[in-house]
Amino acid sequence: MAENHYILVKTICVQYNVEPVFLDDLHSMGLLELITVENNKCLHQDTLSDLEKMIRLHNELHVNLEGIDVVFNLLKKVDYLQNQLVKTKNKLEFYEK
């Protein structure tokens, strides 16, 4: 993580209009890392974009927590495959030139 920049879970819940239990559930499922700093639960800012994605999937697409877990695993695979594709394309270019 780039720097120690933690955001209070309380603040996040107000800003995103989500219940703290939602973040706790994500944490207990291993989808989100929450850190306790001076008795306050916090989230590192680097994981905020993942949380935003989870909130959107939950609110906009009505995906439950298990579904979010599946989606995130599949997205990781897609990302890995896309990287492999880029590497393969570069190798192919080598033989086509």
Distance CA 75, CA 35 (A): 25
CB of 41 to other proteins, least distance (A): 16
With the CA atoms of 18, 21, 26 and 29 taken in that order, what torsion angle do they form, in degrees rounded to the nearest 10? -160
* The one segment of 21-29, 31-39, 73-81 that binds other proteins by CB under 8 A: 73-81
For 43, other C-beta atoms within 10 Å of its C-beta total 23
Binding region for other proteins (CB under 8 A): 2, 5, 7, 12, 15-17, 45-46, 48-49, 52-53, 55-57, 59-62, 71, 75, 78-79, 82, 86-87, 89-91, 93-94, 97
